Amino acid sequence: DDPQGVTGRAGTHTGAALGVPRLDLPPLYLTDGPVGVRQGQATALPSSMALAASFNRRLARRDGALVGNEAKLKGNDVVYAPTINLLRTPLWGRAFESLGEDPLLTAQLGVAWIRGLQAQGVIANVKHFAVNNQEDRRFSVDARVDERKLVELYLPQFEAAVRQGKAGSVMCSYNRLNGPHACESSWLLDRVLRRRWGFRGFVLADYGASKRIGTGLRAGLDFEPFPFVDFDGGESYTPAAVEAALAA
């Protein structure tokens, strides 16, 4: 992995996994993002909020296709997008790349965007799963939301992304959700995402969102892409650490 990739410098990738030749596992290259590829010079697209204001699924698909095409031509396999969390406060740092406050609109435009992107031969990474709706204390805040509100407001767009959009990957978020961190919540990653919705892709952590290797692995966190020590005392996946966690 190359930590310089997060700067968006030309010739790098936001994330990179070098692969395992003996297992015939190829390298994996990942890039941001919802409003344009974060990798040197690239097309700067309008805010996702502007896209949502169009109420136009065909336009959303063209938007996703443009990002997917540029990402592919720059040698990427995965795009960290779309952002389909609901907008709950204008102070949220990701407000500009959200699709607004309405679950139905966010779901339908998100599905169209994913289809456009993945038609270019790259994988969509829907984010941030789940209830990542504020910037203050985002690494540690515990979002306390009952299951009815989760099902009616905060999760429908992710379900649509998986079931209708066939998104290939999901990014678990920084925050806690009713106690556990999202990236080590077996209720979220296993019971809901995989069992209830039938997700067959892979789950990766937002940069610094992986906290404890053992509970993350058991909950369903497949890939920890951040190349150095995580924020807020978290742990990175390394071969030795993963083997120790699985043996515990």
User: Looking at the annotation, which residues are catalytic?
Assistant: 206
Q: Could you give the CA distance from residue 186 to residue 232 in angstroms, rounded to a whole number?
A: 21
Distance from C-alpha of 193 to C-alpha of 155, rounded to nearest angstrom: 10
Residue type, 227: P
Residue among 133, 124, 131, 216 at smallest CA distance from 162: 124
What gap in Å lies between CA 192 and CA 154, rounded to an integer? 13
Q: Give the burial string for 70-107 (b: 16+ CB within 10 Å, else e).
A: bbbebebbbbbbbbbbbbeeeebebbbbbbbeebebbb
Token output for 85: 């969390």
The type of residue at 243 is: E
Measured CA to CA, the distance from residue 216 to residue 166 in angstroms comes to 24
The β-bridge partners of 16 are 29
Nearest by Cα to 85 from 119, 147, 51, 129: 129
User: What are the structure tokens assigned to 118, written together?
Assistant: 């993945």
